[in-house]
Structure 1
Amino acid sequence: MRHTSYRRPLAVALLAASVLAPMATTPAAALHAPGVRPAGVHAAGADGYGEDDNARDSLDPALSARLDKAVAKVREQAGIPGVVVGLWMPGKGNYVRATGIADKTTGRPMTADSYVRIGSETKTFTVTALLELVDRHKVRLDDPISRYIPGVPNGRRITLRQLAEMRSGLFPYTSDADFEHDLLSDPQRVFTPRELLAYGFKHPNTFAPGAQFEYCNSNLILLGLVVEKVTGHKLRDVIDERVLRPAHLRHTLFPKGNEFPEPHPQGYTDQTLSGEVANSTNWNPSWAWAAGAMISNLQDLRHWAKVVATGTLLSPETQAQRLKTLPTGFPGTTYGLGIFNASGWIGHNGSLPGYETVTVYLPSKKATLVIMLNTDITYEGQEPSTLVARAVTEIVTPDNVYAGAVVGP
């Protein structure tokens, strides 16, 4: 596998990042029950989305062939073991492809019905849970974090809004050398949210609140704690009850440990103490918690992309605030409340050891793009998911070429 010779700091291992009553759907925990078949492109229409076209490649054959060639080129160039690409463009058709391998040892092929760890896409769920509390008048975005969580450096001046916008100035715990050593020395370790914050809080804040953008997972850990404090319930339960169920996401879950529904690909990373490539499939994602621990599949991510971009679960006023994206310093990419706008594509990407995803929606064309990979190993300093998304959008939306993640190596 070809990739850069250096190992990225874990500061960039997690990238970019309801007012409805709960509905009766299968809870996330039921995914582990015998006989529950995961949804995918071969189970179209089974999840109540009202869309039967997941299984059909209905794009113009010549266009599909161009996409096949472009994805194959990136996969070979960047050494990506397996990739799933889902593209839905009303009026033009759909394109769903799973290529490469899910397991290097057995050669098992990648399949479109796979579950994957979605990394920082978790941020879209955590912030949606927070914004649902805003709509219920339980919290206000301009409340200081000190109102809810004591001990935050400069917490009286840092607002919930600034945390969600990545403009708090808090030091990212994933940039702490002790954290990186502790995680990579024992990837099965269970971290508590307070332990994670402690790694970051021992450093000075990096800038005054609101002064600039800095992608920081400490922000989302704090927002997760706010959701728990205000509701009196575990974050995973709030997300399940107030976000996943109303959105009909029956194949998305916030794991308690390192559980991983089948089928799933093996994940490969060079985020190791030695820099050697390792299988990270069963690493415990507790270290990412509200910032990046969740799991989903193609079918659910397709649906979620539109929910996030259009604000289905939120009031119009709150959604408008969410979409007020601000400059990040990265060309073509702005950031709002737990989401980004990358050249018109609204959503989030995710990356953690072994897996990368992109889930975005283009309102101007009502198009949805979902990408899932089983590696996070960079190629010439670029995230492999960004390379795939860029290759696809250069062909299908040349006026809106995906600009990439909000953080680089």
Structure 2
Amino acid sequence: MRRLGATGATLLLALLAGACGSGEGTPPAPAYAADLTRTLGTLITDLRIPGAVVMITSKAKGNWTATFGNRALGGTDRVTVDDHFRVGSNTKTMTGTVILQLVQEGKLGLDDPVSKYRPGVPNGDAITITQLLDMRSGLYNYSEEDQFNVRLDSEPGHAWQPDELLAIAFAQPPYFPPGGGFHYSNTNTVLLGLIIEKLTGGTLQEAFRHRIFDPLGMRNTSLPALADADIPAPHPRGYMFGTNVSTLKEAALPAAEQAAAARGSLLPNDVTDANPSWTWAAGGAISTAGDLTRYVTAMIDGGLLDAKLQKTRLDSIQPVDPTNPNGAGYGMALARFGPLVGHDGQLPGFQSFMAHDPDREDTVIVLTSLYAAPNGTQPANALAMAIIKALYA
């Protein structure tokens, strides 16, 4: 890990402080913005977030956009609202949306077994399309495998093929029988991506573009080819404390390293150029705050699916823990965050959050250029929770 002395600590704190509004000619900031700016600024400093974009759309409280920090540690180039970020598992909602569009078109059924479309899947005759969407298939999550993470660290430029990922997953026993529990697994969404390609006869990139990005005017959103590790300009650098191996079981750094990070003498690694192909259908998309606002609003309010299937999707969200009905909910590639519905995403270098309240028509987007804080906190989620608290106070 790269370390800096006291001068570096002072510089880092200076970079993290302060926020920029949305520029001249924009409406005045809403009443909640001043207090929220201070709250978010404190979190950004405490969590060591190099850069962030916040976009809030609220009929009740007013719209507000802010940017924090710089594109690179040690630099002076500020993050802007137009910056592109990797959005991680928010991509799962796109894969899920296309799958449901194919259901709507009669090309597959929610109760179809995965074996109908992909041979060789453990318990494939008993796992349904719905269970893949709901994370209730029981299939092993390839990204939890030890040697896989060793390769992510030792071969960051490797372009992973979906079949490589499935081979890792299928070599491990399932967590439980199909429908027997909940376990978040990228394997489910990679399978769904392959099913999309089989049924459409094209690439997943083409399906996203023709079915979601172009209809919604998302001109700054893409799913790169597997060999493409670039991010369109402008974009921040992406950072990560530790490595894939060291953070696999526990995202938090050891206590001594957390203290060093708090002093600014321990900085995160720049992992921007690592190839994210291992996330593909489960987490490979790149987007901006404006495009995600447009997307998550349409995804939750309607417009990408017919009314019946839209209701089925929203109604599918169930508690992850049945003993805690008020806890986190998940269903058909959607997560519930209190009154808002959407998803979040995390992969080395970036963490993001997008959600929309269909009743109040509030939308919250947070993009950060950090995988996890030194204490293991997901940075975009922490900012999003503070925003939601301010909006619903």
- Determine whether 1:69 maps to 2:38: yes
How many residues of Structure 1 are paired with residues of Structure 2 in the alignment?
Answer: 348
Q: Does 1:381 align with 2:381?
A: no
Q: Give SS of 2:216's match.
A: coil
Which of these residues, 125, 132, 143, is aligned with residue 94 of structure 2? 125
CA distance in 2, matches of 1:294, 1:176: 23
For 2:319, the aligned partner's letter is P
AA matched with 2:131: Q
Q: Which residues of 2 match residues 7-406 of structure 1 at below 5 A?
A: 55-60=26-31, 63-256=32-225, 257-272=228-243, 275=246, 277-323=268-314, 324-329=316-321, 332-398=327-393
The structure having more radius of gyration, on CA atoms, is: 2
Letter of the aligned partner of 2:54 in structure 1? V
Q: Which residue does the alignment assign to 1:25? A: none
For residues 91 and 135 of structure 1, what CA distance do their matches in structure 2 show?
A: 34
C-alpha displacement at 1:89, in angstroms?
0.6
Judge conservation of contact 2:296–2:356 (CA < 8 Å) in 1: yes
CA contact (8 A) 2:54 2:65 kept: yes
Amino acid corresponding to residue 41 of structure 2 in structure 1: A
Task: Summarize deviations over 1:267-297 as a string: whole Å, max 9, x none.
Answer: 0012526758321112111110000000000
- Structure 2: gaps (5+ residues): 2-20, 247-266
Give the superposition deviation at 1:92: 2.7
Shift of 1:310: 1.6
Deviation per CA, 1:12-38, whole angstroms, max 9, x where unpaired? xxxxxxxxxxxxxxxxxxxxxxxxxxx
CA contact (8 A) 2:98 2:208 kept: yes
**Partner letter of residue 364 of structure 1?**
D
Cα drift, residue 395 of structure 1? 1.3
- SS state at 2:215 partner: coil
**66-75 vs 331-340, which moves further:** 331-340
Query: 1:52-86 CA distances to partner (integer Å, 9 max, x unpaired)?
Result: x9x434412xx211110110011011111111111
Percent of matched pairs sharing the same residue:
35
Mean Cα deviation higher: 273-282 or 354-363: 273-282
1: CA distance, partners of 2:116 / 2:244: 39
Shift of 1:250: 1.2
2:249 equivalent in structure 1: none
- Following superposition, the deviation at residue 392 of structure 1 comes to 1.3
1:41 deviates by: 5.8
For residues 194 and 245 of structure 1, what CA distance do their matches in structure 2 show?
28
* CA separation of 1:193 and 1:247: change in aligned 2, threshold 3 A: same
1 CA distance for matches of 2:142 and 2:23? 41
Whichever residue aligns with residue 317 of structure 2, its letter is T
Distance in structure 1 (CA, Å) of the matches to 2:335 and 2:82: 26
- Cα deviation for residue 169 of structure 1 reads 0.2
What TM-score do you get using the length of structure 2 for normalisation? 0.85
Deviations 1:213-264 (A, max 9, x none): 1110000000000001111111111111111111221111011111211100
* Deviates further, 125-134 or 99-108: 99-108
CA apart distance, 1:212: 1.3
Task: Indicate the SS of the match to 1:56.
Answer: coil
Gaps of 5+ in 1: 2-39, 44-52, 399-409
Question: Which stretch of structure 1 is more off in the superposition, 184-193 or 84-93?
Answer: 84-93
Note the C-alpha offset of 1:163.
0.2
- Deviation of the 1:210 alpha carbon: 1.0
Letter in 2 for 1:380: N
| 8 Å CA contact retained: 2:36, 2:390 | yes
Residues 159 and 273 (structure 1), Cα distance of their counterparts in 2 relative to 1, 3 Å cut: closer
Q: TM-score, normalised to structure 1's length?
A: 0.82
Counterpart residue identity of residue 353, structure 2 = V
- Distance of aligned partners of 1:269 and 1:346 in 2 relative to their CA distance in 1, 3 Å threshold: same
Q: What CA distance in whole angstroms lies between the structure 2 residues aligned with 1:397 and 1:204?
A: 43
State the distance in 1 between where 2:348 and 2:229 align: 13
Q: Which amino acid aligns with 2:232?
A: P
Say whether the 8 Å CA contact 1:271–1:353 is kept in structure 2: no
Alpha carbons 1:118, 1:296 under 8 Å: kept: yes
Q: Are 2:61 and 2:391, in contact at CA under 8 Å, matched by a contact in 1?
A: no
What is the SS of the residue equivalent to 1:245? helix
Amino acid at match of 2:278: W
Give the Cα separation in 1 of the matches to 2:59 and 2:327.
Answer: 25
**1:347-374 CA deviation, whole Å, 9 max, x = no partner?**
0101100111101001221001000000
